Every structure is written in structure tokens, then in C-alpha cells.
């Protein structure tokens, strides 16, 4: 069985010792999000320096905007002078970093700095596949954990239900108390509110010619499955009253 593998980014691992515990968790979560979206971690992305600087500048401009956004609130409160000062220091730091980055690659163009990086169709398919595989691995790990918590009796009941719904053919002989899709009727045949009563008559086959080749019978088969699931749901949500003991 495939096990869920947590992606590890060498770059994030290098900065985690510098972060408080909460931000370590956030950093790990961001790595997982990035892996699901792009199919790789940042440390596995081997772009040239020029493109790395473009990414950095774009993120710093976003950081500057967020900082100004926070300043709108901080400046409204007289007792936030220290916080306003810190935000202004951050602003100067971001601007200095932007200047340093531009000096690192001085011939960057407007087109490069405003380019929204996309994926080729093949790259996008690979990223989607990697994300899907990661999600499947997670679900399989969750299912494995659930199976260890469920007893054999529950497994048998689930297998019996799967076997019933997987029969070669089900044919409806008649039903009452339900709509054709298995949902309860709002009112009974006599116009009274639904009380939980439903009836279903079925014929069942364990072997049958390929039912997919017979559209009318296939539609009847699918309706029978809907009605069967519906009557079970009704039974669960409207359990029959307990029978009175003899002599009561």
C-alpha cells in the first residue's frame, strides 16, 4: 500500500531553526501546499538566478503593500507609536532589499518583473498528477488508520452491502413511500405527512449478460440501486418501534 510521504524542502529546513514553533508549522504547511500545486518543492526548482530574483522582487513588493495595509490600522491608534515605528523600519528594510536585488541583476526589464509565470501543458499535467498522487497517498493512509479502528463485524457488514449493490442486475417490482431517486415522499398516497413507511419489491440476479448493452434495463438497474439505498436510509432515520413483549 502506498504510504503518505511528507515533502521536505531543504530551504525550509534551513530556516526552521530560526522560527518560533507556530511559524515552523506554517512553513511546513506552505511546503505541502506548494508541492501539491507545482509537484515539487522550492529547493527542487533549479531556475537561474535571474528568475529567482524576479520572484523575490515580486514577493517583496507584495510585502511592502501588506505593510502599508497594516499601517492604515496602526496609525489610527495613539498608543501604537512603537508599532508604527516598527512598520516604518520594515518599510525601509524592504526598500533596501529591493534596491540590493535590482543591483544584483541591473538589466532586469519591466516585462520580466511583471511576467506571471505559468506552466506548459505538460508541466501542468505533471504538477496535477503529483498533487493527485499525494492526495491519494494521504487518503490511503487515512483509510488504513480507520481500518485499524473498525472491527471485523463492521468490515463484514460493509462487504455484504457492497456485494448487494454490486449484483449483476436489480429490477424494481414496485415501491411506495419514496420518489424514483430513493428520497422520501413529502406526503403519503393519502395526503398525510411522511411517517417513515416505505416499501420496495426487487428481483435480484447474481449473473446477467452485459447490462451496459441494454440501456432500458441499465436505467431500471440504476433506479433500483437508488431505491434500495433510499429505503435503507429511511429505515435508519425512521427506525421501526420496538415490538411490545408478549402479554403486555
Which of 110, 126, 142 lies at the terminal end of a domain, its last residue?
Answer: 126
pLDDT digits (tens, 9 = 90+) for 108-150: 999 999 887 655 556 667 767 777 888 888 888 887 777 677 6
Report which listed range, 89-103, 130-144, 173-187, 230-244, is most confident.
89-103
14/112 same-domain check: yes
- The verdict on 14 and 84 lying in the same domain is yes
DSSP-assigned states of every residue in 143-159 = HHHHHHHS-HHHHHHHH
Whether the model clears a pTM of 0.95, i.e. scores above it, the answer is: no
Structural domain boundaries enclosing 187: 157-237
CA 217 to chain centre: 36
DSSP, res 18: G
Which of 87, 104, 126 represents a domain boundary (last residue)? 126
Residue 173 lies inside a defined structural domain of this protein: yes
Tell which of 126, 146, 180 closes a domain: 126
DSSP codes of every residue in 202-230: EEEESS-S-GGG-HHHHHHHHHHHHHHHH
Strands (E), 94-231: 169-176, 199-205
pLDDT at 145: 75
What phi and psi, each to the nearest 5 degrees, are found at residue 199?
-140, 145
Element spanning 64, H or E:
helix 49-74
Asked if residue 139 is part of any domain, the answer here is no
Calpha distance 64→51 (Å, rounded): 20
Mind listing the pLDDT tens digit for each residue in 190-224? 788 888 899 999 999 999 888 888 888 889 999 99
Residue 242 has what DSSP assignment? Answer: P
Tell me, yes or no, whether 108 and 170 share the same domain.
no
Nearest residue to 56 via CA among 10, 21, 108: 108
68: pLDDT strictly greater than 90: yes
Domain annotation covers residue 102? yes
Tell me the percentage of the chain whose pLDDT exceeds 90.
50
Residue range 21-25: mean pLDDT, rounded = 94
State how many domains the chain has.
2
What local confidence, expressed as pLDDT, does residue 3 receive? 47
Position 142 in a domain: no
Amino acid at each position: 500500500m502506498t504510504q503518505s510521504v511528507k515533502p521536505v524542502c531543504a530551504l525550509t529546513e534551513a530556516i526552521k531553526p530560526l522560527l518560533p514553533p507556530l511559524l515552523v508549522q506554517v512553513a511546513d504547511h506552505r511546503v505541502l501546499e506548494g508541492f501539491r500545486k507545482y509537484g515539487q518543492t522550492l529547493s527542487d526548482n533549479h531556475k537561474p538566478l535571474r528568475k529567482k530574483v524576479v520572484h523575490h522582487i515580486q514577493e517583496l513588493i507584495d510585502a511592502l503593500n501588506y505593510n502599508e495595509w497594516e499601517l492604515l490600522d496602526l496609525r489610527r491608534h495613539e498608543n501604537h507609536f512603537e508599532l508604527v515605528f516598527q512598520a516604518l523600519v520594515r518599510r525601509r528594510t524592504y526598500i533596501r532589499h529591493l534596491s540590493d536585488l535590482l543591483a544584483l541583476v541591473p538589466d532586469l526589464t519591466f516585462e520580466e518583473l511583471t511576467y506571471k509565470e505559468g506552466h506548459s501543458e505538460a508541466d501542468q499535467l505533471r504538477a496535477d498528477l503529483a498533487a493527485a498522487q499525494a492526495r491519494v497517498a494521504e487518503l490511503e493512509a487515512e483509510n488504513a488508520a480507520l481500518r485499524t479502528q473498525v472491527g471485523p463485524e463492521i468490515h463484514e457488514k460493509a462487504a455484504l452491502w457492497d456485494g448487494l449493490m454490486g449484483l449483476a442486475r436489480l429490477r424494481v417490482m414496485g415501491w411506495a413511500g419514496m420518489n424514483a431517486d430513493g428520497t422520501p415522499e413529502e406526503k403519503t398516497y393519502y395526503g398525510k405527512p411522511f411517517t417513515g413507511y416505505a416499501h420496495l419489491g426487487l428481483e435480484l440476479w447474481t449473473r446477467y449478460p452485459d447490462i451496459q448493452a441494454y440501456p432500458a434495463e441499465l436505467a431500471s438497474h440504476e433506479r433500483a440501486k437508488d431505491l434500495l439505498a433510499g429505503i435503507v436510509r429511511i429505515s435508519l432515520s425512521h427506525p421501526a418501534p420496538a415490538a411490545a413483549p408478549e402479554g403486555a
